[in-house]
Every structure is written in C-alpha cells, then in structure tokens.
Amino acid sequence: MKEQKSLIMGIESSCDETAVAIVSDNKKILSNIVLTQLEEHKPYGGVVPEIAARSHINHLNRLVRQALEEASVKWSDLSAIAVTSGPGLIGGVMVGLMTAKAIAYARRVPLISVNHLEGHALSIRLTEAVEFPYLLLLVSGGHCQLLIVYGVGNYERLGTTIDDAAGEAFDKVAKTLGLEYPGGPAVEKAALLGDASRFKFPRPLKGRPGSNFSFSGLKTSVLRAKDRLVEAKDGVLSRQDICDLAASFQEALTDAIIDRVANSIDYYIDKTPISEHILVVAGGVAANSCIKEKLAALCIQKGLLLKAPPMNLCTDNGAMIAWAGVEKFKLKEFADLNIGAVARWPLDPDAKPAVGAGIKA
C-alpha cells in the first residue's frame, strides 16, 4: 500500500503580507496565497504595525478557506498546522499564531511553531535538492545575516547587521530621494539609468575582519549628498541626479555585502570539508539584479554554487512556513498550545552579541 503523504498548512503574518499555503512532504505546493498590504502602507513610506495587524485580522480567515479550496483538500486531509511564531511585528505574529492555535485545537492536528527566519533558511529545500550544510545570506527588509545551515534548528551565525538591514536601507534611501515604496524595486529601477561612479559613497566595514553588516552610515551619506545637491541647485534636482544617487548607493551597498560574504565563504569552506559548497541567498532583497550578479561572480571565483529560491518564495509567503513545518513534522517537533508570540527570536541563540547591534543581534 502506498504511503500517504503529509499535508501541512503554513500561516505567515509577521510583517505586511498575510499568507497561507498548503504543501506536501513530496515538495508539491498545492496552494500559496499571499495578500500584500503595499497600498495600505505606501502613504507612510514604511510598514505601520497597527495597520498591518488590523489587515491580518480582516483577511486571514478568508485566506485560510481559499487555500483549502485552491488545494482541493479538506480539513481532515491536513496533517499539521505550521505558523510563524516570531520574529516580527508582535501584533501581526499574534494574529497568525492565535488563528493557527484555534485550527489545531478544533481539528485535533499538531501545531508546529516556525521561526520566520528558518522559513527563509529552509525554503531552498522546497524547490531544489540542497543538502546540509550550506551557507545562507538572508537579506530582506528586516534582516541581514550570514549563517551556516547545518540542519533544521542548527545554525551558526557568522554575521548580522549592527544597525539597518539592507532592505531597510533601500526603503529609507528611496524615501530620501522621493521614490516610491517599497524602496528596493524603486531604487533598482532608478539605478539602471544612473551613473554609479558619480558619488563616492563609503563601503561600510569593507576590508575589516568578520561578516557583520552596517548600512546606517551609507544611508546618511546619501542624505547629505542629496542635501548638498539641493542647496547647489536652488532646491531642484534633475531626474538624472536622482538616478545617479540611486546607482551610487546601490553600488556601494552591493560592494559592502560582497566583502562580508567573501569573508563568510572562507570560514564556511574551512569549517565544512564537503565535496560541494553552496551559497543560498534568500529574502526580498535577493531579487536585486546588481547584488545577484556580483554574488554570482564571487561564487565562481570562490568555487561555490549559488542558489536562490524562486522569487515568489524569497519574499514572505506561507509556502516557506509550510515547508519548514514539513521538515519539523518529520522530526516530530510539535508545539504546545500555550506557546506565545515573540518579537525577537535568533536562529543561533549562542552567537555572541555583535557590538552595537543591540536587539538586532
């Protein structure tokens, strides 16, 4: 008799996407619904936590039903409910977690608690046959980290941001330059028409030991360069000025990332004597073509394979949470219904605090 496949529902609500998916343990995505809140947050140039939580409340139940319908499965077909329990905006995390608890209790299925960052970390294994250990660059709006992924729940953090995340820096620079939200795509689009050599912005921490990131000073340099231009041009910047600022910023940020990743690659290769070394890049900023091109060149130079999940699995989504649930289901890692939501949840709790990083460490 053929073994029955496990079906896991994944719920994600840690920031400004309300997402539900159903994934099987044979890597089939039966449904993957993501409701973005971009239009709701656009007037503010960033995510407003109260608005995000309210939107999750308004839409999550409907999306759960829709995910079941699109997957053509019944409640009784589900093996477990996986849900993001943190880190993230605490109000949004609570909405998803309480919904998942209610489903698990009412349907008598196990509850699986998933670290949002682990969802990103394991997502490559949903679409490709990637074995542990691999090096992960997690680069998104709220996180910028380098980790060795040894297995489910087993991570070594090599570097983290000591101030802004890369995506956060993109958003703030876009706002400074009067570009649209979200900032990543807007800055990249403007940079295509810009001269990246016009402005000499700093490459934070480049050339220093270690793999930590810092983007706050770079962001401030863009602001000051813009202010000097505004003063010199009587308050009127040309479109070319904006594009040149965007291109110069993107080039500086990318160079800083590549330097930090190169240090991590050397450590990872020395630490893991395996036949095939892999760098996985995940998170929304992984969509940036400039960063991807320079990472590809670095991997060729260092002898690594570069892999990334499909774009719809790089940004926040329910499928990555469901897949992390599949991995944990196989290990019988279930959560108690008394589990609480957390705003901070490091993948490597034993990592030494990065000087200056504070709560982002």
Domain assignments of the chain as residue spans, ordered by start: 7-123+312-349, 132-308
155, containing H or E segment: strand 154-160
Q: Which helix (H) or strand (E) holds 218?
A: helix 216-232
Q: Identify the weakest region by mean pLDDT among 9-18, 144-153, 350-359.
A: 350-359
Instruction: Report the relative pairing of strands 278-282 and 134-139 from DSSP bridges.
Output: parallel
pLDDT of residue 228 exceeding 70: yes
CATH domain 7-123+312-349 topology: Nucleotidyltransferase; domain 5 (3.30.420)
Distance CA 130, CA 312 (A): 18
Residue 229 neighbours by CB distance under 10 Å: 18
What's at 28, amino acid-wise? K
Q: Say yes or no: do domains 7-123+312-349 and 132-308 share a fold.
A: yes
Q: Which amino acid, 358?
A: G
Q: What is the pLDDT of residue 357?
A: 55
Distance CA 146, CA 116 (A): 15
Query: What pLDDT was estimated at residue 361?
Result: 45
Residue 52, classified by CB atoms within 10 Å of its CB into exposed (0-12), middle (13-18) or buried (19+), is: buried
3-class state of residue 112 by DSSP: strand
Provide the pLDDT for residue 192: 98
* Token pair belonging to 43: 């007037």
Q: Does pLDDT of 346 surpass 60?
A: yes
Q: What is the pLDDT confidence band of residue 143, given thresholds at 50, 70 and 90?
A: confident
132-308 fold: Nucleotidyltransferase; domain 5 (3.30.420)
Question: How does DSSP classify residue 257?
Answer: H
Average pLDDT over residues 78-92: 97
At 297, which helix (H) or strand (E)?
Answer: helix 289-302
Nearest to 241 by CA among 170, 182, 191: 191
The identity of residue 335, as a single letter, is A
- How is residue 109 written in tokens? 């299925």
The proportion of the chain whose per-residue pLDDT surpasses 90, expressed as a percent, equals 90
Percent over 70 (pLDDT), the chain: 97
Q: In this model, does residue 1 exceed pLDDT 50? A: no
Q: Confidence class of residue 3 from pLDDT cuts 50, 70 and 90? A: low
